[in-house]
Structure 1
Amino acid sequence: MYQKINILLIFLLLGTVLQAQDGKKAPFNIGEVRTIESQHLDETRTLNIYLPNDYHPDSAAHQTIYLLDGSAHEDFLHIVGLVQFFDLQLDAPPTIVVGIANVDRKRDFTFHTDDAELKEQFPTTGGSAKFMAFVEEELQPFIQENYNVNQERILIGQSLGGLMASEILLKKPQLFSKYLIVSPSLWWDNESMYNQMDTLLADQNFDNTEVIISVGQEHPMMIKEAAGLYQSLALAEKKNLKVHYQYFEKEDHATVLHVSIYEAFKILYQKEK
């Protein structure tokens, strides 16, 4: 009797396991992948796009984050995770994330240099002007045409991406309303743009622009330059410009990005709680 019961239980358990193993599969999607043909860059670029749960073409217009280093294997997934977390916990504005997948970041995020050593280390360097034109004249119009977005545009860039974000801020600040700049590589070209910051800022006007600059316990030059960028912006006394500075002594170049964006989102969204 007991033997029959045990055998029956074994069959029931085995059936449950087999049923679980035979469960249906479905893709777990957090957005979509688009491609855009760029005349400025003369190539096809891939965009990883996160859409919030309530997104609908007829819903209220959404703000947008443009993420440099936005490949799926780079910063896209963990930045989207922070966006979803702050939407859930602090009722942050629903946000579309546009991850710009890299082709050659050393080309796209650097401007021209005559430094022989840098040209040897970065043989494709010098394409930031073309990349900026791509963002302004091709990428942003593409997003505006295909998605229901408003004029609240946030740019995130770290390291060479931070150099690119700084160049846009100093030369074409109207392209974005908020800049989250992490560990910017302002050492590029013997600090040529860093040394021209005050001159570049003098020619710019800002329209409700907010800038959050972050750096960790990194190379002393990078710490100096991040602080210097903040000081130049703060001392410029430009109307409609807010500037914040974050120094994370327990983070290094590898770990500072995620913490920086988490704390930056707290600055942006806790006031709206």
Structure 2
Amino acid sequence: MKKNIVFILLVVFAIPSIIFSQEVKKSFSIGETVTISSKILSQDRILNIYLPEGYTKNDSIPYPVIYLLDGSITEDFLHVTGLVQFFNLQLGMPKTIVVGIANGDRKHDFTFPTEIADLKKEYPTTGGSEKFIRFIEEELQPFIANNYKISDKKYLLGQSLGGLLATEILFKKTELFTHYFIISPSLWWDDQSLLHNASNYLSKIKKPVYVYLAVGEEHNIMVKDTKTLASELKKHPNNIVSNFIFFPKENHTTILHNSLYQAFLLEFPYKEQK
């Protein structure tokens, strides 16, 4: 009897080790990381690229692209791609490629030059947005078009200084994107010089464009400037379709995820299944 009990115990305790020894592990991937060499920026730049399930370059259907500023793995790339996947699965958003542009020096890339002494002292590396915009237009977008099956629908998403850059591109190179998602833009930069010229820039936009603006309970200047930009956009209804949402329960740290959820919800509203 004792021998039988010992045998049973040996079998019982041996089973888990047998099971675990048969585990199969596979790598998990949602896309690819690509490094491209930029002649304009004189440096290599890392792109994190989300490819939707079933993506193939030979697909008959082209894919919209979201270009994400602050697109490093440790920044906004993962949670933005999560929202994209959720909206595709649940709310009818088309399968979409996300191109996360990993940062080098975002203060340099996302700002235009200033002559304000205090800003130059506090942010000594700033002033590189003109080259960065050229990089997007002349190197990044052609690379994506040549290597992926994409449609004409192109989104740009930027927050804070990224929102400042997105606004500058909207004003100066509107045609680079069809949709602009601008969150908590740092329009205070250079004593609000970009915002002061908003009317002049916006009046020159001829091709229809969509702009989504959002701001939370943040610095008074940021809230005021974003609301001013929203008002300026509404003065040009023939060529600019825009939405503005104020998020009183969100701050500069928490606003991006919820505001992007609402932006997608405006484009792909929930419809009750019948």
Same fold by TM-score, threshold 0.5 exceeded? yes
1:37 Cα shift? 1.1
Q: Secondary structure at the match of 2:118?
A: helix
Match of 2:187 in 1: 186
1:26 aligns with 2:11: no
Give the TM-score normalised by structure 1. Answer: 0.95
Matched, 1:225 2:259: no
Hey, what's the Cα distance between the residues in 2 that align with 1:25 and 1:9? Answer: 29
**Aligned partners of 1:247, 1:124: CA distance in 2, in Å?**
32
Greater mean alpha carbon deviation, residues 244-253 or residues 8-17: 8-17
Change (3 A) 1:204 1:7: same
| Contact persistence 1:153–1:178 (CA under 8 A) | yes
Q: Aligned in 2, Cα 1:245/1:19: closer, same or farther, shift over 3 Å?
A: same
2:249 maps to 1:250: yes
- Distance in 1, matches of 2:11 and 2:255, equals 53
Q: Distance in 2 between matches of 1:3 and 1:215?
A: 73
Distance in 2 between the 1:18 and 1:214 partners? 55
Structure 1 position 204, deviation (Å): 2.1
Matches within 5 A, 1:1-273: 1=1, 4-5=4-5, 8-9=8-9, 11-17=11-17, 19-20=19-20, 23-59=23-59, 60-207=61-208, 209-237=209-237, 239-270=238-269
Question: How many residues of Structure 1 are paired with residues of Structure 2 in the alignment?
Answer: 271
Can you give the 5+ residue segments of structure 1 that lack an aligned partner in the other structure? none
Equivalent residues of 1:215, 1:247 under 8 A apart? yes
Distance in 1, Cα, partners of 2:6 & 2:235 = 80
Gap regions ≥5 residues in structure 2: none
TM superposition outliers: structure 1 runs of 4+ over 3 Å: 1-7
1:211 Cα deviation after fit: 0.8
* Alpha-carbon separation, structure 2, partners of 1:246 and 1:6: 70
Secondary structure of the residue aligned to 1:151 is strand
The 8 Å contact of residues 212 and 245 in structure 1, kept in 2 or not, is answered as yes
CA drift at 1:122: 1.2
Q: 1:234: Cα distance to partner?
A: 0.6
* 1:63-88 deviation line (CA, Å, top 9, x unaligned): 00000000000000000000000000
- TM-score (norm. length: structure 2): 0.94
Which stretch has the larger CA shift, 178-187 or 53-62? 53-62
1:199 is displaced (CA, Å) by: 1.4
In 2, Cα distance between equivalents of 1:14 and 1:105: 55
